[in-house]
Amino acid sequence: MTFQNSGTLATSRARRSLARPFEPSLLCSPPAEQSGENRNEWKKSTEEHEEWKRTTAEPWTYRRQSSYLIEDEEQQGPTESRFGISSGPASQPGQHCSEEEAEHPDRHRGPKVDGPQEEVNGRRYEKEETRNHVTALVPLILPPYGAILLAYGLVMAIGALGFNLLLGYTGLLSFGHSAYFGVGAYAVALMVKYLKVGSMELFLVGAVAASVLITALFGVVCVRYTRIFFGILTLALSQVLWSLAFKFFWVTGGTDGLRVPTPSLFGGLVTGAGDKTAFMSHAYYYYVLIVFCVCAALMWVIVNSPFGMALQAIRDNETRAEFVGVRIWRYRWVAFVVSGVFTGLAGALWVPLNGLTTPDIMHWTFSGEIVFMTVLGGFRSFAGPIIGAIVFNYLKTYAVGYTVYWQLLLGAVLVALVLSLPTGIVGTAGKLAARFQRRG
Amino acid sequence: MSLLVTKDLVKWFGDTHAVDHVNFTVKESEVLALIGSNGAGKTTLVNLISGLFRPDAGQILFRDADVTHQSVHGRIKAGIARSFQLVNLFDQLTALDNVALTIFSREGKIANLVALAAADSAVWDEAHEILRLFGLDAKGRMLAGGVSQGERKLLDVAVAYALRPKLLFLDEPTSGVSTREKAPIMDTVTSVVRSTGISAAIIEHDMDVVFNYSDRIVAMHQGTILADGTPDEIRRNETVTTTLIGTTETH
């Protein structure tokens, strides 16, 4: 395959990308504003990334990275994976792809899969060639794509549950939770890069430790303030982490991010060898489900504990809470740390699903998404953030698949939902149920 | 025997002496009324003693221990509790939760993240009992923000009482309620206070309430103590009568 319009940096980048297995994030050139030294840094980062990949045990192939991508993707144009991470030839806003890439997105997907395929819900997926012993026992309730999509929703639900401990129960609106999500994700990626760790359990432990460290430090600064001051501080600190992830490319991979291989689960009992789609839609899906259930149960206990009551007291009336003996800053700090750890845990679960972590997930706009999914579901109820995260995930995914103007469509839908459901989905459902009960 | 003593307590707000070298005492098991016109320094004095404000000078001794520089939390542990002039409750929690939370705090159980609050039956039994004492047992399941003003006033006192203090400051417990509601509220509050043997210092403007329910009255004016005595002594004090209470002239 040759490129006709050679000469542009974007094209040469695309050509280089064809010489190796598919890597979506490497297809696009650095942002337009990057030039000169920055561009050289970017090249250096890419070379280091290549070197790291050569030293890893598992080869990266298109099939392992994105085999669950639907085949009719090329008809719908470039797509973007959830949360704005490029998963195909699509480019992020502000990044370039060559015209040829845009016209022939399939050219950059690496070798076509020759193996057998199966059709599910009118869409063709690669047939699972190998199934590990666990997935063989798991009943196929959902099609692979649906299971993976739900897994994303559940992961975000864990993050939203953590976020809502601050917003719904403590009365603190954080605009910096993308940072803790990113800390979890990067903790996993850095464990892979430097420690060659492949166990999901170790990933979770590492992510929790990193989240505790960062949120404990940030919390000391933030919890002395409330309202807009708290929000601005959390936002500013998250942007500090984002810029570190962005600039320290020799550690974080810069805009290229860091790849994370398919992890082993349950202490190595379940491995990701074989078909990645099968692994993600079965074993990993159930793993996420189990972690989600544990997290939801733990959060439910926390918000219904005496500590949870104290947080609600602080939310309702800080002065009175102090005069019944609640140490305001201390409890806010603990809530901040717990909230960050849940979000960090979500980041750790998310990154193997996505296969890649980039600084985008630490950007404040992603914090906005966490806020939005929580408000959408209803931050005054325990289940609200869970429902909101799953619904938001579906809305975003289908909006991305429906139009290139998906942000506009998603924004319009979300504004309509918030205006029509001011107490969120769960709050509105509760009101409707109460109304029907009264009539009954 | 004095439970609380303040020595030359001073608080300035700019050029204003809100509290000016005040020597104030509260004795064991007494109901004391603190009276004075608006701006006399009553609430500031209570704020200084309860820890909301830091004094500019002077000393606060509680049970012979210096609590001048202790935190609010430390003073609560020592046995000082208060209610507020404007009702301060946790409006999104039920009346029962308001009291139970205070008991959890008093018992040091509030830091527990991994135990269900509902499982601690001893706390909930005590919370029910306190609500019953204040005649609020029927309102236990209602949100604190949803009960009437008189009931909110009582609940405010009940929450402070749930800390099992030795000294309870009540800042205008009958303000904002109808004349008809004042007597039942004060009957309830003083009966609970007297039955448990704790001391109460009540800031009040209604002289009927003051003279009917207090053992001793301290009158304040412009940041200083004007008079200190029994209700009969205060009635006969001409300075207090002309400055604060007023007289009924006959023609």
Q: Which of A148-157, A378-387, B62-71, B236-245 has the lowest mean pLDDT?
A: B236-245
Which range has the top average pLDDT, A29-33, A61-65, A112-116, B100-104? Answer: B100-104
Which range has the top average pLDDT, A35-49, B121-135, B181-195? Answer: B121-135
Q: Which residues in B lie closer than 8 A to residue A324 (C-beta atoms)?
A: 76, 101-102, 105, 159, 162-163
What is the pLDDT, as a whole number, of residue B247?
52
Give the residue among A164, A158, A167, A166 at the shortest CA–CA distance from A185. Answer: A158
What is the pLDDT, as a whole number, of residue A216?
93
Residue B30 has pLDDT above 80, yes or no: yes
Kindly indicate the confidence band of residue B36, based on its pLDDT and cuts at 50, 70 and 90. confident
**Tens digits of residue pLDDT in A245-269:** 888 888 888 888 888 888 888 877 7
CA distance B209 to chain A (A): 26
Phi first, then psi: give them for residue B180, nearest 5 degrees: -65, -30
B86 and chain A in contact, CB less than 8 A: no
Residue A58 has pLDDT above 80, yes or no: no
d(CA A311, CA A160): 17
Distances in Å between the Cα of B35 and the Cα atoms of A219, B27, B242 are: 44, 17, 14
Stated as kind and residue range, the H or E segment containing A299 is helix A284-303
User: Do the beta carbons of residue A185 and residue A347 sit within 8 Å?
Assistant: yes
What is the pLDDT, as a whole number, of residue A84?
39
What is the pLDDT, as a whole number, of residue A104?
42
CA distance A313 to chain B (A): 6
Which of A314, A323, A336, A381 is the best mutation test for B, with the most CBs of B within 10 A?
A323
Which of B46, B87, B101 is the best mutation test for A, with the most CBs of A within 10 A?
B101
- Among chain A residues, CA nearest to B90: A316
- Among chain A residues, CA nearest to B51: A323
Kindly indicate the confidence band of residue A50, based on its pLDDT and cuts at 50, 70 and 90. low
Helix, strand, coil content of chain B in percent (nearest 5): 40, 25, 35
Give the orientation angle of helix A384-402 with respect to helix A144-170, to 10 degrees: 130
Which of A305, A313, A321 is nearest residue B112 as measured by Cβ atoms? Answer: A305
**Beta-bridge partner residues of B31:** B200
Which residue is it, tokens 């403007």? Answer: B205
User: Mean pLDDT, to the nearest integer, of A266-289?
Assistant: 82
pTM: 0.74
What is the pLDDT, as a whole number, of residue B117?
86
User: Do the beta carbons of residue A264 and residue A272 sit within 8 Å?
Assistant: yes
What is the pLDDT, as a whole number, of residue A248?
85
CB atoms within 10 A of CB A139: 6
Classify each residue of B222-250 as buried b or exposed e, where b means 16 or more C-beta atoms within 10 Å of its C-beta. Answer: ebbbbbbeebeebeebeebeebbeeeeee
**Tens digits of residue pLDDT in A343-354:** 999 999 999 988
> In which region does residue B14 sit, left (phi positive, over 0), alpha (psi from -120 to 50) or beta (all else)?
left
Q: Which residues in B lie closer than 8 A to residue A338 (C-beta atoms)?
A: 113
Q: Which residues in A lie closer than 8 A to residue B81 (C-beta atoms)?
A: 323
Beta strand B25-27 with B167-171 is: unpaired
What is the pLDDT, as a whole number, of residue A238?
87
d(CA A61, CA A323): 61
CA distance B59 to chain A (A): 21
**Tens digits of residue pLDDT in A169-207:** 999 998 889 999 999 999 999 999 888 888 889 999 999
- Among chain B residues, CA nearest to A311: B110
Which of B52, B105, B112 is nearest residue A324 as measured by Cβ atoms? Answer: B105
d(CA B81, CA A336): 29
User: Mean pLDDT, to the nearest integer, of B17-24?
Assistant: 85
Give the residue among A244, A295, A241, A287 at the shortest CA–CA distance from A263. Answer: A287
- The answer for B 51-70 residues in CB contact with A (under 8 A) is 52
Q: Which residues in A lie closer than 8 A to residue B112 (C-beta atoms)?
A: 305-307
Phi first, then psi: give them for residue A79, nearest 5 degrees: -120, 170
**Tens digits of residue pLDDT in A297-338:** 999 999 999 999 999 999 988 888 999 889 999 999 999 999
Q: Which of A115-124, A371-380, B102-111 has the lowest mean pLDDT?
A: A115-124
